[in-house]
């Protein structure tokens, strides 16, 4: 599966288990960093085909990543297990969503696991992958509506808030001034505001609070 899908799956796991946004970022990283063994694609195709899904997709690497995430996290124990879970979720997704075998105990053993013995290439790439992606998007939309959080928090909490404001607030809130659909929550007064009563969507300021600040 693509790194994007792996990242979305890791975020879905993180949002269910971890409260702190910085800790969730660590879990997401743990869920995508496995593909570091694909870096050889930048240099040599033969090396890429030889080493992708090997050392990066090994639990030896995964445990080290989980320990590192736990050390860096605020909730160390929970993040350790969540990071290990995200790592495992990546492995499972690659097993069922790729015809490329993985070696989960590399280099101790080169024992391989692959879903291609059960699923055809057509099923893997034209059924399983699109279905997993679609279900991930539906789950993310549900979480965005209920928790008012999006995967963009990994990049920036402000960007995340803009995304939620633009695509979720209009369906949940009305402007507290005119009762039209809201697009922001003012970061000063906390009131929901529509585009007509918003001074700056990027800065999440309603016109009243922006006007008050300008007078000072």
Q: What is the pLDDT of residues 94-144, one digit of tens each?
A: 999 998 889 999 889 989 999 989 999 999 999 999 999 999 999 999 999
Can you tell me the mean pLDDT for 21-29?
A: 97
Q: What is the pTM (predicted TM-score) of this model? A: 0.87
> Domain residues for 51?
3-155
User: What's the angle, vertex CA 191, arms to CA 190 and CA 197, rounded to 5?
Assistant: 130
- Whether 63 and 151 share a structural domain: yes
Instruction: Give 29-66 pLDDT, tens digit per residue.
Output: 999 999 887 887 777 777 777 778 788 889 999 999 99
Q: Which residues contact 100 (CB under 8 A, 6 or more apart)?
A: 52, 53, 94, 114, 116
- Whether 195 and 113 share a structural domain: no
What total number of domains does the chain contain?
2
Confidence of residue 10 (pLDDT cuts 50, 70, 90): very high
- Whether 186 and 103 share a structural domain: no
Answer whether 139's CB lies under 8 Å from 150's CB: no
- Whether 54 and 124 share a structural domain: yes
Q: Please report whether residue 196 resides in a domain.
A: yes
Element at 193 (helix H, strand E) = strand 192-193
- Whether 208 and 118 share a structural domain: no
- Whether 101 and 194 share a structural domain: no
């Amino acid at each position: 599966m693509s790194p994007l899908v792996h990242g979305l799956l890791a975020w879905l796991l993180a949002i269910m288990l971890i409260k702190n946004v910085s800790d969730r970022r660590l879990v997401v990283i743990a869920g995508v960093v496995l593909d570091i063994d694909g870096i050889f694609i930048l240099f040599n195709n033969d090396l890429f085909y030889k080493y992708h899904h090997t050392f990066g997709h090994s639990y030896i690497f995964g445990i080290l990543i989980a320990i590192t995430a736990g050390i860096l996290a605020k909730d160390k124990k929970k993040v350790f297990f969540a990071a290990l879970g995200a790592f495992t979720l990546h492995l499972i997704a690659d097993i069922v969503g790729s015809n490329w075998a993985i070696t989960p105990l590399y280099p101790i053993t080169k024992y391989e696991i692959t879903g291609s013995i059960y699923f055809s290439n057509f099923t893997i790439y034209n059924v399983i992958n699109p279905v997993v992606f679609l279900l991930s998007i539906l789950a993310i939309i549900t979480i965005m509506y209920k928790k008012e959080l999006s995967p963009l928090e990994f990049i920036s909490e402000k960007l995340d808030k803009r995304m939620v404001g633009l695509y979720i607030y209009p369906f949940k809130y009305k402007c507290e001034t005119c009762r039209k659909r809201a697009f922001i929550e003012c970061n000063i007064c906390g009131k929901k505001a529509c585009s007509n009563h918003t001074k700056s969507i990027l800065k999440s300021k309603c016109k009243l609070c922006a006007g008050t600040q300008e007078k000072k």
